Structure 1
Amino acid sequence: MLMSIPAMNALVVLNENMTLPSIFSELERWMREAEEQAQSSVSILLGNQGIGSLIVNILIVGVLAGFSEELFFRGALQRILLSCKINPHGAIWITAIVFSAFHLQFFGFFPRLILGAYFGYLFYWSKSLWLPIILHVFNNSLVVFTLWYKNLTGIPESETINHLGVDSPMQVITSIILTAFLLKCLFRYSMVSKDDAKNNIVNND
């Protein structure tokens, strides 16, 4: 997840700068107004600079939101789709689409879609809901802390972790390569673990 930050930041900027054809100008205007209202609400919620506010916001936005969203989307919706004999990849991406659309932040749709698919594959590979829960909580908490620290110190957005890689194509490419490599390692490890578990069952029998 840490290795993916530059690539995800670049995708965030790309998504934010997307424009619709002129025929959909009214729709785009409404979408941008909804986005601005959502960002304004988040800024108000996370705008307090006290350490107590940071702790409360991490508990609410980081822990509770991360836990409840994973419980619903991966723990319930993805499992339901898989039980309906839908292809695992289809179930993961459908869940990720619903997860991203649920937030009603249209100019952050694609980064959240990728994040949702990432959590979905982690759950599918590991068979443990705790892995995506922990990483979702970590992701949300990192966002909360970054905004809190930015408000506390007054540093510009360009100096925060949210801007890492945005101006460096090399960092983005490196981020993509390392993230893909680590995901492949995680996939192989999960397959080896499953094979070991099966062998243990056979040996015990």
Structure 2
Amino acid sequence: MILLNEYISSLVPREGPILGNMYKEIEDFLKEEVKNPIPFFSTTVLLAPICEEVLFRGIILNGMLKNKIHPIKAILFSSFLFGLTHMNPWQFVGGFFIGSFIGFIYFVTSSIIDCILLHIFNNAFAVFNMFFFIKNEEISSQEIDLNFWLILTILFTIIITGSIFLLKRRRKI
């Protein structure tokens, strides 16, 4: 999901008079934030996922589900709000997508802890990915594409293997 999320977010244009300037400002901001990695990491990977999941899944989504709003509508609406709070088109798309997935997990498990852990993992992956690419900006786009497809292949292998394992385990129960 994380890699698919990253790919979908990458489809939003990063050039042009409005989006180009906005993207450049965000990129410059993140480069400054990376200079203080401990506060940046603790805020992005720990504090934000806890606060956001309590608000968007624990309060908004849970409240909508308890008020008998259709689960798909509730998940999509809470994900839309989650995406909006990130205040830029790239994180909106990614936030909506990953928020929908985490919302579905909440609907299935009713566990805010699972949602927080998924969100922490997502943000940690994004932060480590960002650190990697900021430190290695000289990597060619061809190498990035190769890495993307390699990681995507490994990810799908893990998902398929895990799904088969879970299906076999479920049938035994």
Contact 1:78 1:95 in 2 (8 A): yes
CA drift of 1:56 comes to 3.0
Contact 1:54 1:145 in 2 (8 A): no
Instruction: Give 1:141's aligned amino acid.
Output: A
Identity over the aligned pairs, expressed in percent? 20
1:16 maps to 2:4:
no
1:76 maps to 2:76:
no
CA drift of 1:57 comes to 2.2
Counterparts of 1:163 and 1:136, CA distance in 2: 26
CA drift of 1:150 comes to 3.8
Counterparts of 2:23 and 2:90, CA distance in 1: 7
Counterparts of 1:184 and 1:92, CA distance in 2: 27
Aligned counterparts, 1:178-189, within 5 A? none
Counterparts of 2:95 and 2:157, CA distance in 1: 20
TM-score (norm 1): 0.65
CA drift of 1:72 comes to 0.9
TM-score (norm 2): 0.75
Counterparts of 1:137 and 1:12, CA distance in 2: 18
Aligned counterparts, 1:55-204, within 5 A? 55-152=38-135, 156=139, 158=141, 164-165=147-148, 168=149
CA RMSD of aligned residues (A): 3.6
Counterparts of 1:33 and 1:182, CA distance in 2: 42
Structure 2 unaligned blocks of 5 or more: none
Report the counterpart of residue 44 of structure 1 in structure 2. 32
Name the SS of the counterpart of 1:16 in structure 2.
coil
Contact 1:66 1:137 in 2 (8 A): yes
Between the two proteins, the alignment pairs up a number of residues equal to 169
Counterparts of 1:55 and 1:30, CA distance in 2: 32
Report the counterpart of residue 201 of structure 1 in structure 2. none
Contact 1:35 1:106 in 2 (8 A): no
Counterparts of 1:110 and 1:163, CA distance in 2: 24
Report the counterpart of residue 199 of structure 1 in structure 2. none
CA drift of 1:59 comes to 1.1
Structure 1 unaligned blocks of 5 or more: 20-27, 197-205
CA drift of 1:143 comes to 1.9
Based on CA coordinates, which of the two structures has the bigger radius of gyration?
1
